[in-house]
Amino acid sequence: MIKINIFLILLVTALPSFSAQRLEPIYSDEHDFRVVTLSEGLEHPWGLAFLPDGRMLVTERPGRLRLIEEGKLNPTPISGLPEITASGQGGLLDILLHPDYERNGWLYFSYVAFGSGGMGTHVARARLDGMQLRDLEVLFSLNIESMSGRHFGSRLLFDRAGFLYITIGDRGDQPRAQRLNDHAGSVIRLHEDGRIPQDNPFVNQPDAAPEIFSYGHRNPQGMALHPHTGEVWLHEHGPQGGDELNHVRAGRNYGWPVITYGVNYGIGTRIGEGTHKPGMVQPNYYWIPSIAPSGMAFYFGDRFPQWRGSLFIGSLKFRLLTRLELNNGEVVKEERLLRGTLGRIRDVRSGPDGLLYLLTDESNGRLVRLEPDGVGQR
């Protein structure tokens, strides 16, 4: 615990004071805040990670890893990435530091690449040496590839026990999410080095992929660890309606495409068998119409005390940030912030300085920070 506390202190003190463009105050139910632009010129940024020295790493979907230092985007991308396929919704996607990064230097990232059967989600790790990645290791590759450019999933998370979680979308082929021999439409759980945990729920089941932790997911693009309970939460895109927020548990079937609160695009007809079925999990919360969620973070910082315990989720479709209040794991309130202010919000992170950071998914994407305005509390 002492080591973790020292690490967090170093992170907070290392974060620079940016000279940045400020927007007008935003008024919300609990806090008034400002949006501060830290960096621009990012091409469809997807994931964000905070380095211990205060620098930040940002992935760009076309296949570049960028470094931001003291609010300035280094014009030279970091070299040493594997070959990446930027096609459709795919490319270089999420990024994550190992929980013991200061000791071992491992950085994890998800990306799309071609194999013998088409495209698929991959996860690799490497060490950052100056402006180059070294010691590259590919830890995971989708077991059944296809030519579809949709639904790669690709959020990454470490839990408190040190297991690595990876979200995988159904690749635009709905039935795959119900097939236990197929990684598509699932949450993958691995050891930090890519080994398969022997207590994974399907590890001893014939004709099942042993990496699978849960299944029946459509396209999860947000995943977060609850800081108090240690539970893994994710959200996933529905079709026309039916975006879901779920608490991920071992071996559970989350229903897609057998049950859903969404309908077929355009024609509005029912998908699957309805909204409920025995043996399939009901979402903790769902959205109709779809907000197209991406990125997710629990907030437990000190700068916005009235937001403590809230869950923040970006919206691509409605170009907003949604704040969910939870009580014993149940959503009791939703507040929508920044509607039409920033554009498509791709990623949401709670920073070590107690502030919230957002990435906008645009050809000229931005990294922005939410800061209290005045007393910061209404």
What tokens appear for 193 in the block? 């080095």
326's CB contacts (< 8 A; 6+ apart) are 309, 310, 311, 332
Catalytic residue among 31, 44, 122, 151: 151
Q: How far apart are CA 61 and CA 361, in angstroms?
A: 9
Of 358, 268, 371, the residue nearest 319 (C-alpha): 358
320's CB contacts (< 8 A; 6+ apart) are 291, 336, 337, 338, 339, 340, 341, 345
131 φ, ψ to 5°? -110, 25
Q: Are 293 and 313 in contact (CB under 8 A)?
A: yes
CA angle (134, 112, 356) in 5-degree steps? 80
> In 3-state terms, what secondary structure has residue 361?
coil
276 given a catalytic annotation: no
Tokens 């079925």: give the residue: 277
User: How far lies 123's CA from each of 4, 108, 111, 126, 222, in Å?
Assistant: 26, 7, 6, 10, 16
Of 234, 196, 190, 187, the residue nearest 215 (C-alpha): 187
CA 141 to the chain's CA centroid:
18
Catalytic residues: 151
